[in-house]
A and B are shown apart, each in its own frame.
Chain A
Amino acid sequence: MRDTRRTRLVLVVLLVVALALIALDYSDGSNSALRSVRNAVGDVFGGAEHGTGTVARFFSGGSSSASQVKSLQEQVVKLRAELAGAQLSKSDLQQLRKLLLLAGAAQYRVLAASVIAVGTGYQQTVTVDVGSSNGVTTDETVLNGEGLVGRVISVTPSTATVLLADSRAEVVGAAVAPSGQLGSVTGPGVTASGSGLMRLQMLSSAAVLKPGQELVTSASEHDRPFVPGVPIGVITKLVSVNGALTEAAEVRPFVDFTALGIVGVVIVPPKHDPRFSALPPLPHPGPTVTVTVTARPRTAAAGSSPNPTPGG
């Protein structure tokens, strides 16, 4: 009785509904009804996701009967929570400072946000805790103190969903640092290691790449979806593909996409193209050279006197 006709009927109905939803969303992504449902559910779950971290901090043990003990325990809990908050904000502060430095160097106006949820399965998306009520709209660039994080693909009043730059579906226009040659960077997708290497494909066959060159985003039309000048990564290896007309390379992203904390949404693009000003200073191989230089005379001195005992 329990799993006979009625159950199957319910099952079929539910499956049909699910398929209908998929078809609806597939054919018309901007369906207003679906979007409003998404917004509503996003509000609820976004609030819950936002609150989870906060609530977790106030987790405490059992209570006692005596009121005095209870109040003291509450104090302890409160102080502990404050301490945890302070410690948390310390690391947040670090990230925030770096973000502001980058934004300041490139003249972006950013809206700081924190990542509150991560997409399931093969969705390389995260949710941040700012939304349309904060002025965020879709196709805005998201970055953190290290570099490019992604772009906003959907917005609810209180949350925004960010498609990460290391997604396989994402193609970012890039400029190679010193020369300004253009190419496109594609994400590695989901990998077992969690952080794969991006793939750079140059547009011009005349472009010449070298390992160690850094990439920034190139200008997009109306600065959407990517504002210019956001650091992407550094070329680690050139890839030669047989028959390819243009050069390709593997790029290690600056951002660790599995450990996102504080990010910034660029709500006002820079007036002028910041070019490469936001890139971290290039590391110079100088120090090792000086060490070897200072080491040589010593070995030379040692070689000049192969028998120290009789000489000394």
Chain B
Amino acid sequence: MRSSNTAAVKIVITFTFALLLVAAGVFVYQPQQAGVTTFVQAMDVPSDSCIDCHTNPAAIEALASEPELAAGGG
């Protein structure tokens, strides 16, 4: 009885560890795929209101322009 319990615990631990390794592979070692996922998700995010305003110079005129600063060094 005791030995079968120990075996079950070992299986659970091994399975959990394997899951962690897979998760690390997805989230840490595959940034390009993660980027594609973000891109695909972004296609579903509507930005119509942003575009309506920011392609309309008359609407933008209403925005205040920050004062110009001098050039930097270097």
- A and B: interacting chains: no
